Structure 1
Amino acid sequence: MATEHPTFSQCLVLATALKLLLIPAYRSTDFEVHRNWLAITHSLPSSKWYLEDTSEWTLDYPPFFAIFEWLLSQLARFFDPGMLQVNNLNYASPQTVYFQRLSVIVSELVLVLSLRRFVAIQDGPQAKKVARIIALSLLLSPAFLIIDHIHFQYNGMMFGILIFSLSDALTDNLLRSGILFAVLLCFKHIYLYIAPAYFAYLLRRYCLGENLLDIQIVNCLKLGSAIGAIFAAAFGYFTAIGQIPQLLSRLFPFSRGLCHAYWAPNAWALYAFTDRVLILLAPRLNLSIDSASLGSATRGLVGDTSFAVLPNIPPRVTFLLTLAVQLVCLAKVFMQPSPTRFVGAVTLCGFASFMFGWHVHEKAILLPLVPFSLLALQDRRYLGAFRPLAVAGHISLFPLVFKAAEFPIKSAYTILWILVFFMTFDTVVPVAKSQRIFFLDRFEIVYMTVGVPLILYTELFHFAIFGSKLEFLPLMFTSSYCALGILGSFLGFFTLYLTS
């Protein structure tokens, strides 16, 4: 009997076929980063991994990811041993390209399995149908296609571990949820941004009883010893040889500036855009200008962000703003703990770190986007807050792939994804819990309407009109436009979370 919609397996086959076709596509410097890490972990003893600096792309992920690269290198030598030589900088033989691209595709099976697990834990046909739509939207996400399979990274595998952990939390398997998250932290330290949500929820639900003074000693010991063992396995050797300061200096390079070269679409992008506008208005408004900073926010240099009119932002301000937002949602999940509220807290911790963090990369939009996807179809209000994030989050990734050959792929694929899944979301999202929020609905319509001409200008018309002049202008427009959408989504979901 024919099915009405394509199955998960059919979509997986089609997605894999597209990714195989993209093997020769544009790849960023991250391709060389990971090739260099293959060489370091294969050619040098582990005591040298975090000391090696022949390439500027030094190893700066936690030890579990270094071990993952070492395991890949054992296979890589059968493809082309040349990629495993530390001195072969920017080495990209056809065999190397195929091996690294295939390693991303295969490792993404972790994401596939986690999405199947997310569907399997749902109760009832309707819940499974909704979960299947969510799973397909993530499996076919333009974000993973652009970041992992064109630009080049391994986010699919990482977020697969996160979704496994969140699925365990949704089924109250809290010990395993905490263990998986600890493993994830030892793969990639960016997930520290959402660690406060895990700490608050596991403390409240697993380590404390109904009475906050009723400490569950056995649970505390099980969770503490398990997490301690994981971190000991990851960092114990480097502690024993006295390399923890060196390792931490690699993981946390605090010398970088407020904004990345391409402004991540967050609060600081809007702040920087406002500064650019005030420079133009300064003569009429009698504003003083720091002439030494006129080009800083648009030069894209590491550690070089300063503002000409507005006050400069020190790191402590970004930390305090991020912490303030996180503490509000952590208080909510601690006092009224539930699995759904926990996923919301994870989402908001990701939002806060992205919106207000120091030197945020545009790829970090996955931190709020992925967990929010798991909640988006529970309530029409959530869907109203999710849509601007989905649109802005995906468009904000377009500058990562700036070659003309990939423009039709990234734009057509993203537009098709938005059309298909947004229409599908509307058919399954519950409407009985609440009515639509007027602001979010109108904001969403206006926002998406503006998006189409903006993409056409930034991707096509600007270069046809100006050529290589004003090359930062399209990036500034894209970043600021996407920042507005993500800010609207954040404020909408933050309000819903606190009032629900």
Structure 2
Amino acid sequence: MAAPVMDSWSWFPALALGVSFLKCLFISAYHSTDFEVHRNWLAITHSLPVSRWYHENTSEWTLDYPPLFALFEFGLSHVARHFDRNMLQVENLNYASPPTVLFQRLSVIFTDLVFIYAAKECCRCVQEQKGSRDVLNRPSFVLAVLLLWNFGLLIVDHLHFQYNGFLFGILLLSVSKHLQSQHLQGALLFSILLNLKHIYLYVAPAYGVYLLRSFCFSQDNKDGSIRWMSFSPLRLLALGAIVVSVCALSFGPFIAMGQLPQVLSRLFPFKRGLCHAYWAPNIWALYNILDKILAMLGVRLKLLQEAELPRASMTGGLVQEFQHSVLPSISPSITLVCTLLSVLPAAASIWRRPRGARGFLRCLLLCALGSFMFGWHVHEKAILLAILPLSILAVESREDAGIFLILSTTGHYSLFPLIFTPAELPIKVALMLMFVIFSFIALTKLHSNSGVASLLHPLESVYLLGLIPVAIACEVIFPLSSWQQKLPFLPLLVTSVYCSMGVCYSFLRLYISMLRDEERPKQA
């Protein structure tokens, strides 16, 4: 990937200002329990000594992010006190005064400046098409819209409420440094990111293997094998020093206080169960529904006694452990093994045959999706960890553009249940349609002159069109029917299971694409 000199960036400030203005319109809109989660963390870090941060449990929303994010909340709290000091009292549970809402919303919008800067850096790393004056023929413009106006980030951060834009900004900035061969800076940013939110461990294997293979080994033999004489211990020590220094800064005070086990117990709460409050669209959603179908068939065929089956708490929308009825129940160790097996081929591929920044990005995507597909207690919002980096590949490769259309459409629609209030229904539908329509039109124009069929196979198009009746049934018909009282979890189940098929398919297509790339150098 080259980094050409851009002739004009006059459109970028307009895109950034436009989406920032849109975010401001959502200040008084619906917000989820995550709003109270972060208000409570502001109170904990501001009102209590560091020694009590990871012990405080007045609220059920205890501090469960790494220490650097706690410091981030501590910094925000010193600004928050100028809006409403009462929000910084730990005992003020579910406190949401107008000044508190204003501050929390503005804090997300303001910290999104990191994401805006990172998006511009990523846009500078894509290869432009020379001589084109149409912005839709400029990969940098299309990528800027796909990142800045990403539907998932808009509803997850600015309606539901979180700080994903700030965090993904650091991730994309780290990726852009690697695309520019500034590996130490990229490693530093990723180390900071891991100590802000540990979910980014999902993509740590891609970083570790890529940096070891492409940064610590300066040259390869002509056949692609490693020349061990080219190994640089100094580079490895530099990488190690970066990781150790950042972790020491983050966890050092808690290690000194003997609180590391307590912190880790908050970061990795394995008792929360296999699935989140509703199933993320991954392999376990399909596993769960298969178990339910087998249980129903077993009862009908009188092979099972309904009274003897475990209580179906997995469909209650609650965060808790449960036992499968027919299929073997899944433990955290099983999900760990499955996750490692799913990302191992991708990591092995870039170790055996490095393919530069493109190979790293593909490995990062496969690690993100593999962890999403097979991980323990995966949040549905984690799908953004694959969608956002895939945007970079989508503007440069026709095949990746097709995968992006499938993954982003299904992955974004799977976020619909997060915003369930009637007043926000038109907003999420309009934003989703705008993003999907732009994605289809812009990527088609960018990559072909033969229409959408060149990016999607007919069956893929049929599958995506199937989201329309699913949406109508779940968002319109079901709330008006009597089933809402009897089966309140049904729309979530249908959404998760349908979308999981698209996510699984995208995962397989990405792997196939990686294998094809691996074969091309051998044929050359």
Same fold (TM over 0.5): yes
The answer to whether residue 420 in structure 2 is matched with residue 409 in structure 1 is no
The answer to whether residue 184 in structure 2 is matched with residue 175 in structure 1 is yes
Give the corresponding residue for 1:491.
Answer: 508
In structure 1, the residue corresponding to 2:295 is in which secondary structure?
helix
* 2:312 corresponds to which of 270, 273, 295: 295
Cα distance in 1 between the residues matched to 2:305 and 2:116: 52
Cα distance in 2 between the residues matched to 1:56 and 1:313: 26
The change in CA–CA distance for 1:147 and 1:325 in structure 2 (over 3 A counts) is same
Give the corresponding residue for 2:169.
Answer: 160
Give the corresponding residue for 1:255.
Answer: 271
Query: Percent identity, aligned pairs only?
Result: 46
Give the corresponding residue for 2:411.
Answer: 393
TM-score (norm 1): 0.95
1:473 maps to a residue whose letter is L
Give the corresponding residue for 1:343.
Answer: 361
Cα distance in 2 between the residues matched to 1:235 and 1:6: 43
Q: Note the 1:6-405 alignment, pairs <5 A.
A: 7-126=11-130, 129-210=138-219, 211-214=226-229, 215-285=231-301, 287-288=303-304, 291-337=308-354, 338-405=356-423
Mean Cα displacement is larger for which, 201-210 or 191-200?
201-210
Asked if the contact 2:126–2:392 (Cα under 8 Å) also holds between the matched residues in 1, the reply is no
Cα distance in 1 between the residues matched to 2:247 and 2:402: 39
The change in CA–CA distance for 1:31 and 1:85 in structure 2 (over 3 A counts) is same
Deviation at 1:205, TM superposition (A): 1.0
Cα distance in 2 between the residues matched to 1:212 and 1:95: 61
1:273 maps to a residue whose letter is I
Cα-to-partner distance string for 1:294-325 (whole Å, 9 max, x where unaligned): 42221233332322222212222211111011
In structure 2, the residue corresponding to 1:255 is in which secondary structure?
helix
The change in CA–CA distance for 1:82 and 1:383 in structure 2 (over 3 A counts) is same
Q: Name the Cα RMSD after superposition.
A: 2.1
Cα distance in 2 between the residues matched to 1:487 and 1:4: 39
The change in CA–CA distance for 1:376 and 1:406 in structure 2 (over 3 A counts) is same
* 1:427 corresponds to which of 422, 431, 445: 445
In structure 1, the residue corresponding to 2:466 is in which secondary structure?
helix
The change in CA–CA distance for 1:123 and 1:381 in structure 2 (over 3 A counts) is closer
Asked if the contact 1:79–1:96 (Cα under 8 Å) also holds between the matched residues in 2, the reply is yes
The change in CA–CA distance for 1:331 and 1:54 in structure 2 (over 3 A counts) is same
Asked if the contact 1:147–1:153 (Cα under 8 Å) also holds between the matched residues in 2, the reply is yes
Asked if the contact 2:280–2:378 (Cα under 8 Å) also holds between the matched residues in 1, the reply is yes
Give the corresponding residue for 2:486.
Answer: 469
Mean Cα displacement is larger for which, 324-333 or 274-283?
274-283
In structure 1, the residue corresponding to 2:485 is in which secondary structure?
coil
Asked if the contact 1:288–1:309 (Cα under 8 Å) also holds between the matched residues in 2, the reply is no
Asked if the contact 1:387–1:444 (Cα under 8 Å) also holds between the matched residues in 2, the reply is no
Cα distance in 2 between the residues matched to 1:216 and 1:240: 33
Give the corresponding residue for 2:223.
Answer: none
In structure 1, the residue corresponding to 2:61 is in which secondary structure?
coil
2:363 maps to a residue whose letter is A
Deviation at 1:52, TM superposition (A): 1.1
Cα distance in 1 between the residues matched to 2:127 and 2:507: 29
1:262 maps to a residue whose letter is Y
Cα distance in 2 between the residues matched to 1:205 and 1:174: 9
Mean Cα displacement is larger for which, 180-189 or 299-308?
299-308
Q: Structure 2 unaligned segments of length 5 or more: list them.
A: 1-6, 220-225, 518-524
In structure 2, the residue corresponding to 1:78 is in which secondary structure?
coil
TM-score (norm 2): 0.90
The change in CA–CA distance for 1:285 and 1:17 in structure 2 (over 3 A counts) is same
Cα distance in 2 between the residues matched to 1:9 and 1:74: 30
Mean Cα displacement is larger for which, 365-374 or 325-334?
365-374
In structure 2, the residue corresponding to 1:79 is in which secondary structure?
coil
1:348 maps to a residue whose letter is L
1:299 maps to a residue whose letter is G
Cα distance in 2 between the residues matched to 1:139 and 1:473: 33
Q: Structure 1 unaligned segments of length 5 or more: list them.
A: none
Aligned length: 494
Cα distance in 2 between the residues matched to 1:459 and 1:153: 24
Asked if the contact 1:114–1:164 (Cα under 8 Å) also holds between the matched residues in 2, the reply is yes
Cα-to-partner distance string for 1:327-346 (whole Å, 9 max, x where unaligned): 10000011121111001101
Cα-to-partner distance string for 1:245-298 (whole Å, 9 max, x where unaligned): 111011011112111121101001011112222233224555436734242221
Cα distance in 1 between the residues matched to 2:53 and 2:23: 31
